[in-house]
Chain A
């Protein structure tokens, strides 16, 4: 619990390295967390080898949602899309390095849901995507 706001999370929240939009992009998807109105958009560029050439996130919300989005986006650059598809809840928690209760887990996983919904070309970022 005391780790929840460890410095690295606050740092990613206050000074995100990958906030913004990509234009042009190959994939773009956005969704909300209906519980608290957090909003995340993720844009990706994919190169001819199927690797993530560049990625950005944009949106608003709590420190957990925004920091996890920044860390997630940072972590997938240079990775094959097939590997991105395999990311799950544990991948995000590993990035954050903290344990989360059920409410804040939703904040942390919003960016992964948006990312996977975008990569799979789905209309909605559902919970099943991150199980």
Chain B
């Protein structure tokens, strides 16, 4: 079903604003963080106005309400990615913390010196640095699936790496720079055949197309609320129940315990075992409202709209002399267009576009090694979500021509 952009845009109050007098916001930075629909803002506002109380312990009305809302959101999120139960949805702060949870809990209990972890060259720093730290701490070995010139993973090399008995494969479902949508099911199946546990960074995938963790057969799957219309400060680690149950706790404190003695404790059951301390309650509720919002539009409809916009954007941007686009063609990627403009630094491109209200990101997008691979320091990146229009793409293209003229 084709999206009704006029109606959708009305759901996002921020899209009405001007960045300067007479200059309307053109938000092309949803890969960094998405905008929030009114329903999410209202859900959080209502919570603080009506139901605010700490969860899980109180017996009073508000405590019951807030617990029900908090746990209700977890149920929604579980259904959204087709997890078999809500116990497998661990609330974290974000994708980064989810990956760190696996690195601190699962990996420190299961990996020793010289054990092999396979990553890819297109990872975000959040799926590199935790493993660098473990490498420094206990000498695990790291190998990387190379990225081809086209911006795809070189699966032939992956198969060769798999023959070296890896313990963990950890990769991004969709690149935040190239936009590449990786063949996750295949990568996971091959990893399992080699005996590895597989972790997927889903920060860019879950917001933009339907993800089914069971059909993917992912062992761990990490994603963030703020990139999918929800608030910042909350994310999820999904894990297979057997794995999560076998893992030691991550952070210690309240709520993650069943019983505490002066010199010992017994950890709580899933998912609470991994959720120490008062969590981001309002944020979890906002996250649940975001899932409702996305379900209301339909993930397949969102994916189809973004595909159309991306195809159009790539086509128009390719025509601009001096523009070099990174990543594969529109049929193999999500709504991301990272580019360089000859003779102009990406920060200058972004700054000049900002004068026309156009928000794009410039820099290495937390993927420095990937930029090095392509021999560049930085790119400018336009990214699209369900609320972006072809008109906005046209304004971006006009803006890039302006930059060219200025530096001409």
Q: A residues bordering B, Cβ < 8 Å? A: 1-2, 4-5, 10, 14, 35-37, 60-64, 66, 104, 107
- Binary interface encoding of chain B residues 362-388 relative to chain A, with 1 for a CB under 8 A from any of its CBs, else 0: 111000100000000110000000000
B63 at the interface (CB under 8 A from A): no
| Distance from B136 Cβ to chain A, minimum over Cβ atoms (Å) | 20
Q: How far is the CA of A1 from the CA of B21 in the complex (A)?
A: 13
Q: How far is the CA of A34 from the CA of B350 in the complex (A)?
A: 18
Inter-chain contact A62/B347, CB cutoff 8 Å = yes
Residue of A nearest to B372 (CB): A37
- Binary interface encoding of chain B residues 339-350 relative to chain A, with 1 for a CB under 8 A from any of its CBs, else 0: 000011111100
Inter-chain contact A61/B355, CB cutoff 8 Å = no
| Distance from A21 Cβ to chain B, minimum over Cβ atoms (Å) | 20
Q: How far is the CA of A14 from the CA of B407 in the complex (A)?
A: 8
| Distance from B177 Cβ to chain A, minimum over Cβ atoms (Å) | 14
B406's partner among A10, A36, A61, A64 (CB-CB below 8 A) is: A10
Q: How far is the CA of A35 from the CA of B362 in the complex (A)?
A: 10
Inter-chain contact B377/A63, CB cutoff 8 Å = no
Inter-chain contact A2/B378, CB cutoff 8 Å = no
Q: B residues bordering A, Cβ < 8 Å? A: 20, 343-348, 351-352, 355, 362-364, 368, 377-378, 406-407
Inter-chain contact B352/A5, CB cutoff 8 Å = yes
| Distance from A101 Cβ to chain B, minimum over Cβ atoms (Å) | 9
Q: How far is the CA of A107 from the CA of B368 in the complex (A)?
A: 18
| Distance from B282 Cβ to chain A, minimum over Cβ atoms (Å) | 29
Q: How far is the CA of A44 from the CA of B333 in the complex (A)?
A: 49
B345's partner among A1, A4, A63 (CB-CB below 8 A) is: A63
Residue of B nearest to A7 (CB): B406
Residue of B nearest to A5 (CB): B406
B351's partner among A14, A37, A104 (CB-CB below 8 A) is: A104
Which residues from B are CB-within-8-Å of A63?
344-345, 348, 407
The 15 sampled A-B contact pairs (Cβ below 8 Å) are A4-B351, A5-B352, A10-B406, A14-B343, A36-B362, A36-B377, A37-B363, A37-B364, A37-B377, A61-B347, A62-B346, A62-B347, A62-B348, A104-B347, A104-B351
Contacts A10-B406, A37-B378, A60-B377 hold; do A5 and B363 have CB atoms under 8 A apart?
no
Which residues from A are CB-within-8-Å of B363?
35-37
Interface centre among A1, A35, A36, A60 (most CB of B within 10 A): A36
B355's partner among A1, A10, A35, A37 (CB-CB below 8 A) is: A1
| Distance from A59 Cβ to chain B, minimum over Cβ atoms (Å) | 11
Which residues from B are CB-within-8-Å of A107?
347
Known: A37-B368, A61-B377, A62-B348. 17 other contacts (CB 8 A): A5-B351, A5-B406, A10-B406, A35-B363, A36-B347, A36-B362, A36-B364, A37-B363, A37-B378, A60-B377, A62-B345, A62-B346, A62-B347, A62-B351, A63-B344, A64-B348, A104-B347
Q: How far is the CA of A35 from the CA of B348 in the complex (A)?
A: 14
Residue of B nearest to A104 (CB): B351
| Distance from A96 Cβ to chain B, minimum over Cβ atoms (Å) | 14
| Distance from B323 Cβ to chain A, minimum over Cβ atoms (Å) | 17
Which residues from B are CB-within-8-Å of A36?
347, 362-364, 377-378
Which residues from B are CB-within-8-Å of A66?
345
Inter-chain contact B377/A5, CB cutoff 8 Å = no
Inter-chain contact A61/B345, CB cutoff 8 Å = yes
Which residues from B are CB-within-8-Å of A104?
347, 351
Which residues from B are CB-within-8-Å of A1?
20, 355
| Distance from A62 Cβ to chain B, minimum over Cβ atoms (Å) | 4
Which residues from B are CB-within-8-Å of A62?
345-348, 351
Residue of A nearest to B352 (CB): A5
Which residues from A are CB-within-8-Å of B344?
63
Which residues from A are CB-within-8-Å of B347?
36, 61-62, 64, 104, 107
Q: What 3 pairs across the A-B complex have the smallest Cβ distances?
A: A62-B345, A62-B347, A37-B377
Which residues from B are CB-within-8-Å of A4?
351
Inter-chain contact A5/B348, CB cutoff 8 Å = yes
Residue of A nearest to B377 (CB): A37
Q: How far is the CA of A36 from the CA of B368 in the complex (A)?
A: 10
Q: How far is the CA of A15 from the CA of B347 in the complex (A)?
A: 19
Which residues from B are CB-within-8-Å of A60?
377
| Distance from A83 Cβ to chain B, minimum over Cβ atoms (Å) | 31
Q: How far is the CA of A10 from the CA of B404 in the complex (A)?
A: 12
Q: How far is the CA of A36 from the CA of B20 in the complex (A)?
A: 25
| Distance from B358 Cβ to chain A, minimum over Cβ atoms (Å) | 14
| Distance from A57 Cβ to chain B, minimum over Cβ atoms (Å) | 16
Which residues from B are CB-within-8-Å of A35?
363
| Distance from B348 Cβ to chain A, minimum over Cβ atoms (Å) | 5
